[in-house]
Structure 1
Amino acid sequence: MKNIVYISTAVKLMHENQLLDILHNARLHNAALNISGVLLYSEGTFIQVLEGKDSVIDALYSRIQADQRHKNVIKLIDEPIAEKSFSQWLMGFTVTDSAKTEKLVGYLKSISDLDLNDGKGSAVAAIKTFIENNQLAVNS
């Protein structure tokens, strides 16, 4: 099992409905392949954690790299893991504008829903850094 964490830049700023389409499709795909993770978006920048079977994650990452909706895909982490940090999320998702986050009923109403406080590992550290750099508070 492994995780990959990457960042990328949207080709153009995305609207909520576009982000929700991405989320919906990711959740369907991830459920079928036992992939978990989280996707954060802030002002045109994505960070995503993908966790699952090595070959499945590698194939998905190749697909993501070819996606024309974003550019400058940079892999930050690619490492084996003993257990998933985001196992409860087929794809946890939020935008880092709290006003917009509140509108996404049924998705992450708060970044604190990710429960990063007890998480360990490089992927959790990368997500925490992204949140901090985008000035989104993580509630304890």
Structure 2
Amino acid sequence: MKNIVYVSTAVTLMHENQLMDILHNSRLHNEALGITGILLYSEGTFIQVLEGKDNMINALYARIKADQRHKDVVTLIDEPIAEKSFAKWLMGFAVADKDKTQKLVGYLRSVKELDLNSNNSAAIDAIKAFIETNELDVKY
């Protein structure tokens, strides 16, 4: 089992319906493959954590890197893991304008829902840093 954490830049700022399509499709795909993780978006920047079987994560990440909706994909972490940090999340999701998306299944009303204090993984540290740097309106 492994995780990959990456950051990327949207080619254009994403509209609410585009983000919701990403969330919906990711959740369906991830459930079928046993992949968990989280996607955060703020003003054109994404950070995503993907967790699951090595071959599944590698294949998904190759597709993500080829996706034309973003550019400058930078891998922050690519490492084996003993356990998932986001095991309860097919795709946790947060954006800076939470008022428009709060009612969606999978949307994070609070980062407390992720239990970011449960372990000291590099993926958790990367997510915390992104939240703090982008001043997302989610609290942990």
Question: Normalization by structure 2: what TM-score?
Answer: 0.93
Verify the 8 A CA contact 1:9 1:70 in the aligned structure 2.
Answer: yes
Q: CA deviation at 1:115?
A: 1.6
The alpha-carbon distance between structure 1 residues 133 and 38, as it changes in their structure 2 partners (threshold 3 A), is same
Q: CA deviation at 1:101?
A: 4.8
User: Which stretches of structure 1, 4 residues or longer, exceed 3 Å deviation after superposition?
Assistant: 97-102, 137-140
Verify the 8 A CA contact 1:85 1:120 in the aligned structure 2.
Answer: no
Match for residue 127 of structure 1? 127
Distance in 2 (CA, whole Å) between partners of 1:64 and 1:23 is 13
Q: Tell me the alpha carbon deviations over residues 79-127 of structure 1, each in whole angstroms, 9 at most, x when there is no partner.
A: 000000000000000103344453x433222232212122321000000
Verify the 8 A CA contact 1:6 1:73 in the aligned structure 2.
Answer: yes
Which structure 2 segments of 5+ residues have no match? none
Q: Aligned with 1:131: secondary structure?
A: helix
Q: CA deviation at 1:138?
A: 5.1
Aligned residue pair count: 139
Distance in 2 (CA, whole Å) between partners of 1:28 and 1:135 is 29
**Percent identity among equivalent residues?**
69
Q: CA deviation at 1:73?
A: 0.3
Verify the 8 A CA contact 2:7 2:48 in the aligned structure 1.
Answer: yes
Distance in 2 (CA, whole Å) between partners of 1:108 and 1:49 is 15
Q: CA deviation at 1:42?
A: 0.2
Deviates more, 1:88-97 or 1:35-44: 88-97
Distance in 1 (CA, whole Å) between partners of 2:4 and 2:118 is 20
Aligned-partner residue type, residue 82 of structure 1? A
Distance in 2 (CA, whole Å) between partners of 1:16 and 1:47 is 17
Q: Aligned with 1:49: secondary structure?
A: strand
Match for residue 93 of structure 2? 93
Aligned-partner residue type, residue 105 of structure 1? L
Distance in 1 (CA, whole Å) between partners of 2:11 and 2:137 is 27
Distance in 1 (CA, whole Å) between partners of 2:8 and 2:15 is 16
- 1:23 corresponds to 2:23: yes
- 1:9 corresponds to 2:12: no
Match for residue 113 of structure 2? 113
Distance in 1 (CA, whole Å) between partners of 2:15 and 2:25 is 16
Match for residue 63 of structure 2? 63
Question: Normalization by structure 1: what TM-score?
Answer: 0.93
Aligned-partner residue type, residue 13 of structure 2? L
What RMSD over aligned residues (CA atoms) do the two structures have, in Å? Answer: 1.4
Q: Aligned with 2:7: secondary structure?
A: strand
